[in-house]
Structure 1
């Protein structure tokens, strides 16, 4: 803090807070002008946080814990009084630059006692309640001071500057406002007026709060889903979070309190801030409330009732139901108010109102409870008087739908009460039993009071009657109609008049009835589900703890390679056939004294087969014999002896050789080739064109045509557009490109 302040924070020119500067003499004697909104004016950095007066389960603290709370509340009270006692520029400096001062307010709002706490537990003593109300009053005064732009002529702040300071520094946020709604509530008109003034001020100075409120309203849908999740998971996961403690009567107490908090928050918000009602209509929050009311709340109530019929959480849920109905009423009646405000331009609001109620008709429980508390017929009468273009057919349809559901529920309630009374009388005395029997007989004799039970109705006969009149309907849809109406005549009339409830009107009219499987009923009675000759064997996983089978999980088979590397590294197949190839090593080589021959290999005669060689041998033998017979007689006897001896040696060598000498085969093949083409002028033969077209279809084909087609089909991959990839690879390997 400054050691010397000049002019005692006077503002003779009445400047705004952000434009105001105060001259200050520092410790070193230097005079300096400091802005009125500066951290210099907020030297204190420690503020206490609020401790909740309520423990888990919605109960107040008692004993030593309560005494400790009173001591901490006194310290917290002194901090709040310190903030309120500050001057205008000091107060704003603390709020903006000291986060601990703002955290002090936030801690109270987050841990404040809900205004509906008396529903959950007994109220505390008077002095404790007075201490808490004092703290709540101080917090409200601080929030109201933040929203006050002008405290005096020389202590004021521009609205633009105030809007920027509040919104950008999160001095007041939407979560804080929701906590404030639960802490203050609308139980008294004064509290509702304060909250309404706060919301109106914020929305007027900063329009961005409307976007934040839309995001907050969408959060209620997430809360509904969270409550549904925890309800389905028996209260251990979802909205409330955490396991139940010893004080909980059921596992659902936590989620019931969470539901109650959401209901009161939404109800109070729509009550004190009318601008939010139109936002709820834009995001269709009313339909979400009706769906949550009909499905999740009913299921949650049933679960708690089955565990403990006297649980307090049942009362909390009843209060939550009332608040949700009130919230839906605020949303729906906003359209009626809009029509009354602008009757000439009210057709759109009227259609939206009827559309909202029509969409909620499928939620039967919600429709019954809403009609009990708020008359839809009265709202429609108001709209008919204010709006001349109202669609009377739609309005009557909605009114009849809500009234019929309510009447049906009322009849069922009366019957249930009568049954309870009758049962109680039966337990009292024998005289009461006789009287009850006489009453029942009188009701049975009266055809008006006696509803025909569905079990005594011949459903098959009524289905046949309806199908005779309306054969285009399916048996399944007809059964739904009969179950909804008391007789087949009423069902037929409803279909012909096109006056079906929304759920039946949107259902599939060609739905087929599939009867229940009798084996399922047998399983429910006996517990035996399998009907198989293999039941109970060593492979049955239903009866055997360790079945003798392989239960495959994932891809592939057991012990199979997991990837290509393991597959290529597996050499077991090669090892299995290795012994087969080792037998070839038993063949040994030996030296031979026979004539050796040249074993050169020529690729041009690769097509010569062993069968051809044998044929050539026989021909050569005949040629040799013919040549011997044609030898000239004038050859000398010596030459005959030499030739005959040479022929005998060659023949003997041929017989002794393992195979014919390839050199002789090539020479003979080349000689025959040369002799063939010598007559034609020693030119290279050109391949004759092969006919693959043949004759027209149906006239038969020659063998040459069929053979040419077969050769073309077999060899077509070696030319034309084939083997491009192989040719490209060959060129690339040779460096051609």
Structure 2
């Protein structure tokens, strides 16, 4: 059965697509049918060509048979896109909604399109037809996307905004991944392309505000992408890293990671440029801080690993492009604060503080701060904020300006003198010239007093052994340390006058003979000329000048050698110090030289008395002596304690105790101890001889006798016979060892 469409889809009442119904009449006389304008009946075709990418892996264009196959496939794909564009309004929407293969064909091109930032067209210069065909396909796909976001094509072909929102969002005709692919296919290389992308995003957000939530989730995904890139960069080349075998066309194992880094950089920068609504979203998720950390940590690490493997790898250029795009993306975020301050002065202080806070948090990333401050001067932005917001804290603003301005200086040398700073800043803007080259070498020589340039040159050559020592010294003269110099070389972030310098330049140190010739006018040819022992250039060399036989001031003969008293003269002053004795007016202040002799005499007399007592006394007297000695020792200890207590204050004040006091105390102790023994037949109680014999048996005993007997009985087991232990201790105390 065949059907005909009456009057070629008329819409005299100008109804919208969701309300429009078409009448189909049957030729065999059957009753006509009524089919809605949006129906799968209007999309009978099922097969659409899937686009095949023009690039092989790692950003290289196809060639040979593969290129011919791509050209055939692209021609078929181009015909299919023309078919969709030539469909009527209701047919086009029916294909997009009900025929999934049509939408899949459009998505296949966006996913496999050639990124605008890859310079692959230089490989196809001789084949202009290939370039024209690709541009034609891109234009057709872009027209299809624009038709999807257009709700009114004419007065008879249109649909309501509510119906369009439902068709696009619920049927996933346009998704956020599709928009990101569109960003990479169109790009912002041309102002016209940027305007088209901006109009597409504005229309999508106007039709369906829910896309803002999707864009926020997509923006937050960049933080996850940064962590993934860092993990791959750290683990690439290790077993189990997940990267698989290295492709034969890959220059380094990090090519995939570098290309992914570049893709993320362009996606983020173009998105922030064409969609201002995303800029405020990035503030909520702190994407600016994540960009600064990724820029300062991951990109230098990735660049260094690639450079160590292959110095001429294409991925190094990709990383340099990625750096510029990340800085551009961060700039878009900071511009959103400035635009908000200018647009709404009522909330200007809040946005200004957020701007200052963002830059303050990124100050710890030195590489990022250095590059950003050099590319986008922060002081201009701060001046604009000060003019629009009078309440901005001047201290915070000045702190930010100084921080970014200081880190962005091309020379890493910090000089306290303002004059030197002005001179160095002026030199940094001069063109490369021999005078500047000589000044750089001179600067490196002057810095040798403050830091070890040779050691830093060695550190740089350990990492980059292909460089020349002269070039390394010139680079070190522009930075504070070897780490900053290595980073600048690896990132190709050298000052302008060193970018095109000869990296194999060799440093030839100055010849010390030339300096000697300038000083003396005599040209020498000895390796020791000009050293610290050279008498030709120094008046007082660090050596002894020998003239004639023998050494200077040496004895001429043996008699003079034996008669030499120079050693005695050197130690004469030492012994003269012992003769310095203080002399006072009174005799009490003078030192008594007889002290040592008299003290020794007292010790000898004491020893003689003790020995005579031991020979005269019997066994009973020996034990009695030991008992009495303990009591006398107790009494002497008490006397000693009292005397020490009385003279304690004087001992603290004197450096040493007066020898007269020592002799007096010793004599008193000796008299107290041996007085009773020397008096013999004393009759009073204190001087009475102590014994345990007592009176004859049966006549009664004195209580002292009983007490002495009891004491002897208790203590007799503590001492050996004849008191040998006490005698031995006494001998040792007097120095009589034997």
Deviates more, 1:111-120 or 1:31-40: 111-120
How far off its partner does 1:343 sit?
2.5
CA distance in 2, matches of 1:205, 1:345: 29
Displacement of 1:441 after TM fit? Answer: 9.1
CA contact (8 A) 2:444 2:453 kept: no
User: Does residue 302 of the first structure (1) align with residue 304 of the second (2)?
Assistant: yes
Describe how 1:325-336 pairs up with structure 2 within 5 A: 325-336=327-338
CA deviation profile, 1:574-610 (whole Å, cap 9, x unmatched): xxxxxxxxxxxxxxxxxxxxxxxxxxxxxxxxxxxxx
Closer, same or farther: CA 61–239 of 1 in aligned 2, 3 Å: farther
| Local SS of the residue matching 1:398 | helix
Please name the residue that 1:42 is paired with. 43
Are 2:285 and 1:283 aligned? Answer: yes
Aligned residue number for residue 140 of structure 2? 138
* 1:8 aligned partner: 8
Closer/same/farther in 2, CA of residues 5 and 440 from structure 1, 3 Å limit: closer
Is the alpha carbon distance of 1:81 and 1:273 closer, same or farther for their aligned partners in structure 2, counting shifts above 3 Å?
A: same
| Structure 1 residues 402 and 67, CA gap change in structure 2 (3 angstroms) | same
Name 2:22's counterpart in structure 1. Answer: 22
Change (3 A) 1:388 1:72: same
The residue that corresponds to 2:320 in the other structure is 318
Deviation string, structure 1 residues 332-377 (Cα, Å, up to 9, x no partner) = 1110111112223200100000000000000111000101100011
Question: CA offset at residue 247 of structure 1?
Answer: 1.3
Are the structure 2 counterparts of residues 2 and 92 from structure 1 closer, same or farther at C-alpha, using a change threshold of 3 Å? farther
Looking at structure 2, the residues matched to 238 and 139 of structure 1 have their Cα atoms a distance apart, in angstroms, of 40
Match of 1:271 in 2: 273
Per-residue deviation at 1:143? 0.6
Contact persistence 1:202–1:209 (CA under 8 A):
yes
**1:169 corresponds to:** 171
Q: Match of 1:374? A: 376
The equivalent residue for 1:244 is: 246
Cα pair 1:120 1:316 within 8 Å, conserved: no
| Structure-1 residue corresponding to 2:200 | 198
Cα gap change, 1:240/1:123 in structure 2, threshold over 3 Å: closer, same or farther?
farther
Q: 1:169 to 1:317 in 2, by over 3 A?
A: same
TM-superposed CA distance for 1:30, in Å, is 3.5
Equivalents in 2 of 1:269, 1:241: separation in Å?
A: 29
Summarize deviations over 1:287-313 as a string: whole Å, max 9, x none: 000000000111000111111111111
CA contact (8 A) 1:368 1:409 kept: no
Distance of aligned partners of 1:264 and 1:442 in 2 relative to their CA distance in 1, 3 Å threshold: closer
- Give the Cα–Cα distance (whole angstroms) in 1 for the partners of residues 332 and 240 of structure 2: 28
Relative distance call for 1:409 and 1:249 in structure 2 (3 A) is farther
2:129 alignment partner, SS class: helix
Cα separation, 1, equivalents of 2:47 and 2:294: 44
2:66 is matched with which residue?
Answer: 65
Cα gap change, 1:443 to 1:18, in 2 (>3 Å): closer
In 2, the alpha carbon distance for the partners of 1:6 and 1:349 equals 62
Matches within 5 A, 1:168-567: 168-234=170-236, 241-407=243-409, 410-411=412-413, 443=443, 452-453=450-451
Distance 1:355 1:121, change over 3 A: farther
Q: How far apart are 1:241 and its partner, in Å?
A: 4.5
Residues 226 and 239, structure 1, Cα contact 8 Å, conserved in 2: no
Q: Measure the CA separation in 2 of the matches of 1:60 and 1:98.
A: 32
Call closer, same or farther: CA 1:238–1:321 in 2, change over 3 Å: farther
Q: Distance in 1 between matches of 2:227 and 2:245?
A: 19
* Aligned equivalents of 1:239, 1:75: Cα separation in 2: 40
CA deviations over 1:488-547 (Å, ceiling 9, x no partner): xxxxxxxxxxxxxxxxxxxxxxxxxxxxxxxxxxxxxxxxxxxxxxxxxxxxxxxxxxxx
Equivalent in the alignment of 2:96:
95
Determine if contact 1:277/1:334 at 8 Å carries over to the other structure.
yes
SS across alignment from 1:19: coil
Instruction: Give secondary structure in 1 for the equivalent of 2:346.
Output: coil
Q: CA deviation at 1:234?
A: 1.9
Whether the 8 Å contact between 1:380 and 1:395 is mirrored in structure 2 is yes
What corresponds to 1:652 in structure 2? none
Q: Which runs of 5+ in 2 are unaligned?
A: 415-422, 428-433, 456-478, 482-738
Sort the Cα spacing of 1:123 and 1:392 in 2 relative to 1 into closer, same or farther, 3 A: farther
Question: Which residue in the other structure is 1:565 paired with?
Answer: none
1:344, 1:387 within 8 Å by CA — same for their partners in 2? no
- Residues 361 and 367 of structure 1 are in contact (CA less than 8 Å); yes or no, is this contact kept in structure 2? yes
- Conserved in 1, the CA contact under 8 Å of 2:341 and 2:351? yes
CA–CA separation in structure 2 for the residues paired with 1:351 and 1:240: 44
The reply to whether residue 51 of structure 1 matches residue 44 of structure 2 is: no
Partner of 1:610: none
* Secondary structure, aligned partner of 1:14: coil
Where does residue 698 of structure 1 map in the other structure? none
- Find the aligned partners of 2:237 and 2:334 in 1 and give their Cα distance: 32
CA contact (8 A) 1:2 1:24 kept: no
Alpha-carbon deviation of 1:244? 2.7
User: C-alpha separation between the residues in 1 aligned to 2:392 and 2:323?
Assistant: 31
TM-score (norm 1): 0.56
The CA deviation at 1:37 is 0.2
CA distance in 1, matches of 2:376, 2:156: 52
Provide the C-alpha distance between the structure 1 equivalents of 2:240 and 2:216, rounded to a whole number of angstroms. Answer: 23
Compute the displacement of 1:222 (Å).
1.0
Classify the secondary structure of the residue corresponding to 2:119. Answer: helix
Give, in angstroms, the shift of residue 176 of structure 1: 0.2
Compute the RMSD of aligned alpha carbons. Answer: 3.0
Q: Secondary structure at the match of 2:18?
A: helix
Residues 212-254 of structure 1, C-alpha deviations (whole Å, 9 max, x = no match): 0011011111111110111001267999954331111111111
Residues 159-196 of structure 1 show CA distances to partners (whole Å, capped at 9, x for unaligned) of 11001100000000000000000000011111111100
State how far apart, in whole Å, the 2-side matches of 1:239 and 1:318 are. 25
Once the two structures are TM-superposed, the CA of residue 259 in structure 1 deviates from its matched residue by: 0.5
Aligned pairs for 1:669-680 within 5 A: none
Provide the rounded CA distance (Å) in 1 between the counterparts of 2:387 and 2:404.
20
Q: 1:445 to 1:63 in 2, by over 3 A?
A: closer
CA contact (8 A) 2:222 2:264 kept: yes
Between 238-247 and 293-302, report the one with greater CA deviation: 238-247
Between the aligned partners of 2:131 and 2:49, the Cα distance in structure 1 is 20
Q: Secondary structure at the match of 1:4?
A: strand
Q: SS of the counterpart of 1:22? A: strand
Match of 2:107 in 1: 106
**1:95-142: per-residue Cα shift (whole Å, max 9, x none)?**
000000000000000000000111797355321110000000000111
8 A Cα contact 2:341 2:347, kept in partner: yes
Does the aligned pair in 1 maintain the 2:235–2:241 contact within 8 Å? Answer: no
CA distance in 2 between partners of 1:282 and 1:218 (Å)? 10
Residue aligned with 1:18, SS: coil
Shift of 1:410: 4.6
Contact 1:11/1:154, CA 8 A, preserved across alignment? yes
Q: Aligned equivalents of 2:298 and 2:27: distance in 1?
A: 67
Q: 1:24 to 1:443 in 2, by over 3 A?
A: closer
Q: 1:251 to 1:194 in 2, by over 3 A?
A: same
Of the structure 1 ranges 238-247 and 258-267, higher mean CA displacement relative to structure 2 is found in 238-247
